[in-house]
């Protein structure tokens, strides 16, 4: 969740990714990222943090 919200701050997101790369780059981490992105995209469709939408879609494309 932290990594997905940090997508609006690329330097922070990069730092989080470096610290948690083993987890985030694992199969389980990829699945977790997809689940969190799906939840946040659904929430954004209802008006919560719509500015995250393009970044979340880009993140999903990299998973």
Q: What residue segments make up the domains of the chain, in order of their start?
A: 2-62
pTM above 0.85, yes or no: yes
Q: CA quadruple 53, 16, 35, 46: dihedral positive or negative?
A: negative
What does the pLDDT look like over 15-60, one tens digit per residue?
999 999 999 999 999 999 999 999 999 999 999 999 999 999 999 9
DSSP-derived secondary structure letter, 1: -
Residue bearing tokens 């940090």: 6
């Amino acid at each position: 969740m932290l990594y997905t919200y940090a997508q609006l701050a690329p330097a922070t997101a990069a730092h989080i990714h470096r610290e948690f790369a083993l987890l985030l780059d694992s199969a389980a981490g990829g699945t977790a990222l997809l689940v969190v992105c799906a939840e946040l995209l659904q929430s954004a469709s209802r008006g919560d943090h719509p500015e995250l939408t393009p970044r979340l879609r880009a993140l999903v494309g990299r998973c």
